[in-house]
Structure 1
Amino acid sequence: MRSSSLLEDSQYQPFAGIYATYMLPNDHVRLDVRLRQLLTAIKRVYGSTFSRVAKGYFTGGPYRLEEEKMAVILQRLVGAAHGPRFYPDFAGVARSHNYYPLAPMRSEDGIAAVALGLGETVVSGAPCFRFCPRYPRHIVQFSSVADTLANAQREFYALELGQDSSSRSLPASFQLTAAEEDGTLARVGSTYSSENDAVYDGVSRPGVRLVTFAPVLKHNLFPLAELLDALLGAAARATGTPVEIEFAVSFARGAPPECGVLQLRPLGRIREGPDADISAIARERLVCESRNVLGHGAIADVRDVVVVDMNRFDRTRTHEIAHMVAQCNADLLAARRGYLLIGVGRWGSADPLLGIPVTWDQIAGARAIVEAGFADFRVTPSQGSHFFQNLTAGNVGYFTVNPDVGEGFVDWSWLAAQPAVSETEFVRHLRFEQPFDIAINGRAHAGIVAKPAGG
């Protein structure tokens, strides 16, 4: 059961992950119980329009809740039962426009994010496999053994089956050992051998199991890249706009593989206009510089900053940090003051050890967002996630900075020296009389945040 609403799927500012989605095993022996579960799930989808998440989004966005209209779609899950679990062999999201292309890829070549099991892995921003359908063997995130170990999927989502599943309507997380027992890991897996410090395709040898999609993309087990390229091209031409497709693939025993197109929606469009001049401001006047930026043009009248201080950051307490950020966001939304959000690790991370696990409503008032890597973790934008979709829909400037590898910088010392309007253990709220200069050249994927005049 999933929502399909007027505003959610609008052509110019679509959003994702705001309303609830429920999955039912539909396997209870009593039909009246199944019907009751179905009706309850439908009511909950409609009821999610009044949730804290939805209210937070509408407060910070361009829409009004009373303008919304919704239908609820009942959709058969693509997949197969594997003992006590039901899931597809893999699922994901593909976009006809890539906001962060790396040579030889171009923006119009698209991008896909795919994972073993249900697509919850992808849309939640958890580690998954990303590739360009036109260059399926050009995998930057797996360019070395160390990168593969750091970025490969280690868990997957499935829907639990059985009589005790009658109250469950959300997928559960499992280790890759379960997928290996089910026989599904072999189609997408590889093995890391610590003896040789090497990653080998397949799961026939002992070692650490990883999801690399080598059997699919290197050995043509399934024409995933060709299929996605054709689907994205046809959908973009038919709709006249860049699109996003959700899909799932299942290898049913004794039958041809099944690929289901689960949803198609327009992509949020980046604002258009003249290129911003980001070269005229001296480095010492900058709070932040990045060559990995989403957005375009200038963002005006931002005088507030919410900062998760690098020197105070504790990756074991990121849930607490998320709540502190949410409180600042609520206060600034109430005052109708857009702000610059700066933090450590990935915003909206599904893994609290890799970033700050905020939901979109907790930062909905931000006009520009900066996420900075730290010593042992390099931040990569999560293009497949609902979080990313809402960034593009809201025209929020999105800066990714990894100073340890020479990819931009944040002037943490200057931020720490500024007096705070309010301050908690990890989060500081700064306010200035003059606005920041925030400029983004979307064609060059570069941007700057300059200190206010006199700063």
Structure 2
Amino acid sequence: MPSPGPLSQFQVDREYLPSGIEIIGEGSVGGKAKGLIFVSYLMEAGQEKLCDFPEMLRIPRSTIVATDVFDQFIQLNRLGDVVELLYKKKLTDEDMNVRFLTGEFPPGAHDSLVRFLEEEDRPLVVRSSSILEDRPEHSFAGIYQSVFITNKGPLTKRIAELEMAIRIVYASTYGPNARKYAERMDAPWQEEKMAILIQDVVGSLHDDDLYYPLLAGVAFSRNYYPWSERIGVNDGLCRIVAGLGTRAVGRFQATVFSPSLPELRPEGMAVDDIVASSQDAIDALDYESELFLFKRLSDIQECNSKLYMLGQTLKDDSYFVETPKNFAPDERIILTFKPILSSNRYIPFVPLVGSLMRNLERVIGRPIDIEFVFDYRTDESGTSLTEKGYFYLVQVRPLGRLPEHRKVSIPTDVPESNVLLRSSRVLGNGIIRGIRNIVWVQHRKYDFSKGYDIAREVGKINEMFEGMEYILIGPGRWATTNPELGVPVNYSEMSNAAVVVELSYERFSPELSYGTHFFADMEASNMLYIPLFLEKGDYLNETLLEERESKVDAKWVKVIEISRGLDVYVDGNSRQGFIHF
């Protein structure tokens, strides 16, 4: 097999595809699939040491549907006119989706997918791999759809579900999130082309009919926002969860650490803070209902015998002890991941991830981020069966370089009455002057049962600010999928915000979003992020927000104009944030 050379110059050679990789069609494979094929070449050639435990490293079986199939789908169903009408704002997103989701699949591609499914009966995830995606300057992280399917039942049912999943990803090529993101990146969204990456879902079927891996996550070879002076930028960052990796890249509780000092965590060492920041539910595929869902940790304990590897038992709400292998179903297990972060007794997880990121950055030639899954497989060894753990790379892409932090001097002579907020836990760096508008979801009126209605109200107000900037303030986590955690907006519904403020209030709490798609998209869009923990000494001038009149007549949201303008300071070095007029 020929050496692939550097990623920037790498071209996929269909005559020498790595084992486990197949391509349907003759067009481009897109950014996401290209990175995966590149690493597969390196692993198979054996010319580069990618990690200290190469026998554990795997790539899931992957089938790529190239961009020429997308072109055929567009032409066959006369969708070019749909895209043009969408570009001219003469067609709604709902009508666009109907046209895409009812489109006929090209016969040649259909036959290829049938042959693929005749040999594949494992659960599948259908992912985007567009031309614009996974570039260092704009990742499009989480902008396009991904669809999980159980791949159960007769072939006719399975092919129908797979093709519908592909149609959903195709439609997301021109969806509102993709359009708004591309416009902010000055990328021509109407010219985008989409390849599809179909991968085996790595995992195990448990006794409760739930299918999921032991753990999954994302890792970055650079940590641009270290939470301690003892952690360097080059030490990297990792974000892990139990179950499917959707919770690692979404706005949910996850465990964040640096491979250099895995037990020095952002949330600190206080037991209450560790419990509050720890994952309390997992994402999984339900084999019985064939649905993607989440389950509380307490509901899966009885059917997952390996949770002792990932957590500790909380005693008397005040201290942790080691969770025994034969733990009781009602054991209060907290997913601290200490057993695999503090030693190699079960899994050499930290040295594996650390060495993998260092070596991938070296061979790719720039900082990288990866998505991965770890699970156990039962292998035949002579006449016996042995259970072995494997680390699966599901995505590799270049990581954008962060501009050097310029010095941000926060003013100290501003009258208290002119201060909008102060924060001591910001991420990022920058100064924005003269923002005249605040969009505030009134946290004391926020009703999570109306969360989706509130998000749509924010989206309509966001449209008013096309070409203008504003400060967005609301309770809990912006862009979560769970309204009990915050306001469930899509990217397109907050795309014009220059500053995003997350406010702690009652049960709602910001989440320092290291490693999530949300944070990657904010960073690429040059948005500044300010979490406010009022209970920890941060400050919000609620009196100012309450007393000012709203520019719009809305039920849950106020739009406040500050004619003098607001100046925003975010100092990533001191982690201080400050807004005043």
TM-score, normalised via structure 2 length: 0.70
Residue 182 of structure 1, aligned match among 295, 298, 304: 304
Deviation at 1:363, TM superposition (A): 0.7
Structure 1 equivalent of residue 441 of structure 2:
308
**AA matched with 2:393:** V
8 Å contact kept, 2:451–2:483 = yes
Q: Say whether 1:237 aligns with 2:362.
A: yes
- Whole-Å separation in 2 of the counterparts to 1:45 and 1:300: 39
8 Å contact kept, 2:263–2:338 = no
- Whole-Å separation in 1 of the counterparts to 2:402 and 2:435: 19
**AA matched with 1:141:** E
Structure 1 equivalent of residue 97 of structure 2:
none
- Whole-Å separation in 2 of the counterparts to 1:260 and 1:50: 30
Residue 367 of structure 1, aligned match among 498, 516, 520: 498
Structure 2 equivalent of residue 293 of structure 1:
426
Structure 2 equivalent of residue 53 of structure 1:
177
* Cα separation, partners in 2 of 1:237 and 1:279, compared to 1, 3 Å: farther
8 Å contact kept, 1:127–1:153 = yes
Structure 1 equivalent of residue 523 of structure 2:
392
- Whole-Å separation in 2 of the counterparts to 1:265 and 1:281: 45
8 Å contact kept, 2:170–2:194 = yes
Q: Say whether 1:436 aligns with 2:566.
A: yes
* Cα separation, partners in 2 of 1:299 and 1:272, compared to 1, 3 Å: farther
Q: Which shows bigger deviation, 131-140 or 88-97?
A: 131-140
Deviation at 1:142, TM superposition (A): 6.2
- Whole-Å separation in 2 of the counterparts to 1:15 and 1:395: 14
Structure 1 equivalent of residue 235 of structure 2:
109
Q: Deviations over 1:108-161 (max 9, x none)?
A: 322211111100111221112221111112234362332233222121111222
- Whole-Å separation in 2 of the counterparts to 1:88 and 1:382: 23
- Written as runs of structure 1 = structure 2, the 5 A alignment for 1:36-435 is 36-83=160-207, 84-103=209-228, 104-141=230-267, 143-161=269-287, 165=290, 168=291, 171-176=292-297, 177-194=299-316, 197-203=318-324, 204-205=327-328, 206-220=330-344, 221-253=346-378, 254-272=386-404, 274-279=406-411, 281-282=413-414, 284=416, 285-315=418-448, 317-333=450-466, 336-375=467-506, 378-406=509-537, 408-435=538-565
- Whole-Å separation in 1 of the counterparts to 2:132 and 2:261: 34
* Cα separation, partners in 2 of 1:346 and 1:363, compared to 1, 3 Å: same
* Cα separation, partners in 2 of 1:398 and 1:348, compared to 1, 3 Å: same
Aligned sequence identity (%): 30
8 Å contact kept, 1:125–1:384 = no
Higher-RCO chain (CA-CA 8 Å, sequence separation at least 6): 1
- Whole-Å separation in 1 of the counterparts to 2:362 and 2:421: 38
- For the aligned residues, what is the CA RMSD? 2.5
Q: Deviations over 1:2-24 (max 9, x none)?
A: 11123221211222111111222
Structure 2 equivalent of residue 31 of structure 1:
155
Instruction: Give the SS at the match of 2:267.
Output: helix
**AA matched with 1:260:** Y
Deviation at 1:98, TM superposition (A): 2.5
Deviation at 1:441, TM superposition (A): 2.9
**AA matched with 2:342:** K
- Whole-Å separation in 1 of the counterparts to 2:519 and 2:550: 29
Gapped regions of structure 2 (runs ≥ 5): 1-125, 379-385
- Whole-Å separation in 2 of the counterparts to 1:305 and 1:278: 20
Deviation at 1:414, TM superposition (A): 1.7
* Cα separation, partners in 2 of 1:301 and 1:242, compared to 1, 3 Å: farther
Deviation at 1:179, TM superposition (A): 4.5
8 Å contact kept, 1:201–1:214 = no
8 Å contact kept, 1:189–1:215 = yes
Q: Deviations over 1:355-412 (max 9, x none)?
A: 2222222111101111122256553312232111111111111111213212x32222
Gapped regions of structure 1 (runs ≥ 5): none
Instruction: Give the SS at the match of 2:145.
Output: coil
8 Å contact kept, 2:251–2:511 = no
Q: Deviations over 1:325-366 (max 9, x none)?
A: 122112222xx2221111222222344233222222211110
Instruction: Give the SS at the match of 1:422.
Output: coil
* Cα separation, partners in 2 of 1:301 and 1:264, compared to 1, 3 Å: farther
